Amino acid sequence: MSTEAEAGMDESRAESLKLFLNLARSNPLYVFGLFFTVVYLGYSLVAGIDPAITGFNPLHTNVDLQLLPPSLRYPFGTDDVGRNLFLEVLYGAPIDAGASVAIVLFSFTVGLLSGSIAGYFGGWVDEVIMRVTDIFLAFPGLVLAVAVAAALGPGLLNAIFAIAVVWWPVYTRLARGETLTVKEQQYITAAKAAGVGRARLVVDHVLPNVVVPMVAYATADFGNVIILFSVLGFLGLGAQPPHSDLGRIIYDGLNYIQFAPWYPILPGLTIFVIVLAFAFLGDLVRDFLDPRTRR
Amino acid sequence: MGIGGFIARRALLTIPVFFGVTFLTFFISHVAVPNPVLAWAGEKASPQTLQAIAAEYHLKAPLYLQYYYYMSGLFEGNWGVSPVVHLPVLQLIETYFPATIELSIAALILSLVIGLPIGVLSALWSGRRLDYPIRVLYLTGIASPPFLVALGFQLVFAYYFRILPSQGQLSPSLAPPAHITGMYIVDSLLTHNWPDLVSSVRHIILPATALSIITFPIVSRITRSSMLDTLQKDYVRTAKSKGLPSSVVTFRHALRNALTSTITVIGFALELLLSGTIVIESIFFWPGIGEFTATSILSLDFPSIMGVTVVYTLVVIVTNLVVDVAYGLLDPRVRIQ
């Protein structure tokens, strides 16, 4: 009996994977988004475990090679101390990936827990949780993140924490709204009538239906987090040199915009392409999870 | 409910938010900070200064007293002294505030001027071929980090074509206009100072456009969806079936009602613009609060950073209040909720 059910589950999983890939193939932008983000995150994982794989030594400088324009040997040119900018970007980009994954996961978890509790229980629990999120939402995001990061001191972990502090309330609102909708659905009433316990009701019936729209939102949200993280790096509050993240590389290149424009611009375009890829991936996931938007 | 009651109730709602927000800034600046005395005194403070600062800000007092002193300081205008430039933080903020307001308003106007037509056109053309380039433009706006656009503009218009100045608020060879509002464009208009007016308008174009790239996609998306929504309404169909020209139906019937939801997004847009000023002003050396924030971060000027946080947040709270009230005035249904 149970093996049969599992086999059915496997089959439906294989089917949805097929559907997902078919959907991805229907639009070249989706292909780009899926391919690029998978390669970027996979590469970041490998480079995060062993940074030496990039072949970039941030401490190795060569003044003879200062500010060379892009060429075959140096696709992004070189920086003010003669380092290969392309490798510097390859070395820095995984920091942005890791930070964004950490921030989105944190916000997702905190938001899912607090939002579903607020929505499911209602009453004063709901009131307290939502008034606290209101206060966080009253701040302009970047400004609050800057204040937190400045209080804790510049550094990668503090920057991640500062953005996470700002980022979770949106997820709480989303989870609460979805929980309120799901709670009123007839299948919940049916499950209650069938005598399903409260804990199982939440875990088996409410949460899965709250998680799905949140996953769609979170995928598209990666891009926003990467931009905000790069802005903190740009302001000097992110990873500290020589282990610069993308925003920090751009900040270092700022003074050379006139005579060596590739130095700040090409790392900036890299962020642009990453964010674009995540935006397409977000569209793809949304189309996949919500059949109503499929054309 | 009357208009007065609605406004009063909405205004009362901001009081708990204000206290919540200042409690959070207090928490960040007095509890979360690993070493509050060092943070408020600055990195280079001598032991004597550290002691003086601890006494002045009551940093050794019990927390509930510290909170009391912090709040009374906020209300009395005693926001601390910058350890870097040795001036009261509030005075510094007053100096930089007008330039930021001028830049943000210019950017807000620009993002409405760019975003509204794009939103309306893409709603009218939805599903047709021209919808596609508009979507590309929208995605480009969404995916661009703010510094990239600013640097691109600077490179192309200031360094390559040399048609617009790359930094500052006014040509260095000109004396600033007489101080009335502190906003150079307004002041030079009021004092009929034409050279200053031309120069300050030329200086604001690049930073304001770069800033508006952050917000015009939001304006156009909201306008598009509410326009699509309104075009489906029965009264629009009725207007069409009466034989009214389609331009009249589009603009006078549909757009007018679609615009109310664009107004609600202005509060959110202004919040994004204010955040954006930190990046844009520091790239264009625009002498506003944003650039002040960026330099305060680099010089670890903690009292200034906390002061700026409070000011930015107050501006956002007040803007949201004004937007909500305006929305209630435009749409009587909102007042009942």
pLDDT tens column, B220-276: 888 888 888 888 888 888 888 888 888 888 888 888 888 887 888 888 888 889 989
Residues contacting residue A234 through CB under 8 Å, at least 6 positions apart: A247, A248, A250, A251, B147, B279
State the best of A130, A131, A142 to mutate against chain B, taking most chain B CBs within 10 Å.
Answer: A142
On the question of pLDDT at A188 being above 60, the answer is yes
Q: What is the pLDDT of residues A105-151, one digit of tens each?
A: 999 999 999 999 999 888 999 999 999 999 998 898 899 999 999 99
Of A38 and A52, the structure prediction assigns the larger pLDDT to: A38
Cα–Cα nearest to A118, from A178, A199, A39, A71: A178
Are the Cβ atoms of B148 and A269 closer than 8 angstroms?
yes
For B314-324, write each residue's pLDDT tens digit. Answer: 999 999 899 88
Burial class (CB in 10 A: 0-12, 13-18, 19+), A51: middle
Q: Which of B118-132, B225-239, B279-293 has the highest mean pLDDT?
A: B279-293
Instruction: Tell me the two tokens of residue B288.
Output: 């506003």
How high does pLDDT run on average in chain B? 88
Min Cα separation B167/chain A (Å): 12
Percent of chain A with pLDDT over 90: 52
pTM score, whole prediction: 0.91
Tell me, yes or no, if B78 comes closer than 8 A to chain A by beta carbon. Answer: no
B300, closest residue in chain A (CA to CA): A150
Chain B residues whose beta carbon lies within 8 Å of the beta carbon of residue A143: 274-275, 278, 293, 308-309, 312-313
Nearest residue to B31 (alpha-carbon basis) of A244, A148, A255: A148
If you average pLDDT over residues B272-294, what whole number do you get?
94
Residues of A with CB under 8 A from a CB of B: 131-132, 134-136, 138-144, 146-148, 150-153, 223, 227, 230-231, 234-237, 247, 250, 254, 257-258, 261, 264-265, 268-269, 271-272, 275-276, 279
Write out pLDDT tens, residues B202-236: 999 999 999 999 898 889 888 888 888 888 888 88
Residue type, A256: Y
Q: What is the mean pLDDT of residues B41-51?
A: 84
Return the pLDDT at A227.
95
Nearest by CB: B155 against A134, A261, A272: A261
Nearest CB among B28, B146, B155 relative to A147 is that of: B28
- Rounded to the nearest integer, the mean pLDDT of chain A is 88
Record: contact B32-A264, CB cut-off 8 A = no
pLDDT value, residue B107: 96
Task: Convert A110-124 into a string of H (helix), E (strand) and C (coil).
Answer: HHHHHHHHHHHHCHH
Report the b/e string of A62-90 with b at 16+ CB within 10 A: eeebebbeeeeebebbbbebbbbbbbbbb
Interatomic CA distance for residues A231 and A146, integer angstroms: 10
CB atoms within 10 A of CB B121: 17
Res. A1 pLDDT band, cuts 50 70 90: very low
Its CATH class, for the domain covering B93-298, is mainly alpha
Q: What is the pLDDT of residue A3?
A: 55
Report whether pLDDT(A4) > 60: no
Residues in chain B, how many?
337
| In chain A, % of residues over pLDDT 70 | 95
> Which position has the higher pLDDT, B54 or B129?
B54
The residue with tokens 């005035």 is: B329
Q: What is the CA radius of gyration of chain B?
A: 24
Nearest CB among B16, B275, B282 relative to A143 is that of B275
Return all residues near B174 (Cβ < 8 A) that are at least 6 apart.
Answer: B195, B196, B199
pLDDT band at A291 (very low <50, low <70, confident <90, very high): low
The two tokens of residue A242 are 């020589």
Q: How many CB pairs under 8 A join A and B?
A: 136
Query: Which stretch of A67-76, A121-130, B126-135, B275-284 has the lowest confidence by average pLDDT?
Result: B126-135
Nearest CA in chain B to A131: B17
**Partner residue facing A279 (CB), from B139, B154, B155:** B139
Q: For B324-327, which contacts have Cβ atoms below 8 Å and span 24 or more sequence positions?
A: B324/B10, B324/B267, B325/B6, B325/B7, B325/B10, B326/B263, B327/B260, B327/B263, B327/B264
Q: Which two tokens stand for residue A99?
A: 């930070």
Contact criterion met (CB < 8 Å) for A139 and B24: yes
Pick from A31, A17, A21: nearest CA to A277: A31
Percent of chain B with pLDDT over 70: 99
pLDDT score at B296: 94
Q: Is the pLDDT of residue B131 over 60?
A: yes
Number of H helices, E strands in chain A: 11, 0
The gap between the terminal CA atoms of chain B, to the nearest Å, is: 10
Using CB atoms, pick whichever of A148, A236, A268 lies closest to residue B148.
Answer: A268
Using a 10 angstrom Cβ sphere, with 0-12 exposed, 13-18 middle and 19 or more buried, the burial of residue B45 is middle
Distances (CA, A) of B231 to A91, B91, B205, B249: 50, 51, 35, 9
Enumerate residues 152 to 211 of chain B having a beta carbon within 8 A of any beta carbon in chain A: 152, 154-155, 159
If DSSP codes are grouped into helix, strand and coil, which group holds residue A193?
Answer: helix
pLDDT of residue B217: 87
Please give the residue of chain A at the shortest CA–CA distance from B292. Answer: A235
B17 in reach of chain A (CB within 8 A): yes
> What would the two tokens of residue B182 be?
């502190």
What per-residue confidence (pLDDT) applies to A173?
Answer: 94
Q: Report the DSSP beta bridge partners of residue B88.
A: B81
- Answer whether B143 sits within 8 Å of A231, measured CB to CB: no
Evaluate whether A116 touches A202 at the Cβ level (below 8 Å): yes
pLDDT at A294 over 80: no
Tell me the mean pLDDT in the region B298-318. Answer: 92
Closest C-alpha among A196, A161, A53, A169 to residue A113: A169
pLDDT of B202 reads: 94
Q: Would you state the pLDDT for residue A295? A: 46
Amino acid at A214: M
